[in-house]
Amino acid sequence: MQAKLGKKHTSKYGGFPWRQHNYNYDEGIIGLHEEIEHFYRYILPTPSEHAARNKVIQRIENIIRALWPQALVEIFGSFRTGLFLPNSDIDLVVLGFWKQLPLRSLELELLRLDIAEAGTMRVLATAAVPIIKFTDRETKIKVDLSFNMANGVQSAELIKIFKRDYPALGYLVMVLKQFLLQRDLNEVFTAGLSSYSLILLCISFLQLHPRNVFHKNVNLGVLLLEFFELYGLRFNYSQIGVFIQDGGCYKRKEHIATDCRSSQLYIADPLLPGNDVARSSLALVHIKQSFQWAYRVLSQAVNPPNSTSFSSILAKQHPKPSTKPREREMQRKRVGGESKPKPKAELKRYRPSGVVDDC
């Protein structure tokens, strides 16, 4: 995954490889938009990465079908939606009929066949969603296996519909996933924000946006700043819940049927009424502070006196490049593509158009 960077490229752009050394970036908010486009192209999976993941899935599916010929293995999560980072897990669900979920049986078979890298197998049998977690020995790709959770597949298909309706959604999600990853705020089991919760926040943000954000030429830099402003400075987490059903709205927590007053962030599951998908995101204060910090740093960076075509604006929301393997694998030089018409810069104070309790 890691590609070597030329000294000229590294020194000129501070080691941020999505920057194109032969591209004349605009200053300010339009330059940020251009960087987001290039980051998105850079981080998209290569054909070889897709092939490696499909190989892992096929190998695991063969094992499961050998154990239970009638079982069905489905992909869900970020690999199904296409919104995955290079180090994202593969989420698989096994559908079948068992009196008791065969977590231990599958664990033993995976160990017997030496599928998992040594020391990575974990069975979370008592979790709200029982799961087997391991790292594939051949590819080092992480895998999460669950049983009979069909709503994961439905959620992925729903996200694909929103990706079609909102061209900016994928760009925002990929930048924000990397943003949370570099702050260790992207995993639910460490109290961070799950990928699904983040995507629902992005969908709600776009649904209730006061301007037309359905077209392809919307300024991504403006949207990123407005996202950070909304969820870093303006959103009332203690009183308001997020709903994307029926066009999206906010609801006061006291008007939500489920008792969610103790929930720091309430995001309604669009497919399972009463389920709060963010109930385990207990590090909300750190997430909010990170969004707030990013808004202030980027707002200053897009001002013309602070912005030049020779420095990265997007990188200001990220820590400097690290020697850690997880962050090194982001340093792949895979950018390019045709230039597009420059979007208008409409940077104004963001006010969502959603009416509380109007859904």
Mean pLDDT, rounded, for 153-167:
96
Mean pLDDT, rounded, for 253-266:
79
What is the CATH code of the structural domain delimited by 7-44+155-328? 1.10.1410.10
What digits encode the pLDDT tens for the residues 81-112? Answer: 999 999 899 999 999 999 899 999 999 999 99
For residue 43, what is the enclosing H or E element? helix 28-43
Which pLDDT does position 14 carry in this prediction? 56
Q: Answer whether residue 4 shows pLDDT above 70.
A: no
Strand 72-76's sheet: what is its strand order? 72-76, 90-95, 142-147, 131-135, 122-124
Class of domain 47-149: alpha beta
Is there a contact between 89 and 77 (Cβ–Cβ < 8 Å)?
A: yes
Mean pLDDT, rounded, for 248-263:
81
Q: What residues have CB less than 8 Å from 335, skipping those under 6 apart?
A: 17, 18, 19, 20, 38, 41, 42
pTM of the model: 0.84
Read off φ and ψ for residue 291, nearest 5 degrees: -65, -40
Mean pLDDT, rounded, for 279-302:
93
Which value, in Å, is the radius of gyration of the alpha carbons in the chain? 21
Which pLDDT does position 338 carry in this prediction? 42
What digits encode the pLDDT tens for the residues 111-133? Answer: 999 999 999 999 988 877 889 99
Residue range(s) of every CATH 3.30.460.10 domain in the chain: 47-149
d(CA 225, CA 211) in angstroms, rounded, equals 14
Number of H helices, E strands in the chain: 11, 8
Residue range(s) of every CATH 1.10.1410.10 domain in the chain: 7-44+155-328
What digits encode the pLDDT tens for the residues 173-196? Answer: 999 999 999 999 998 878 899 999
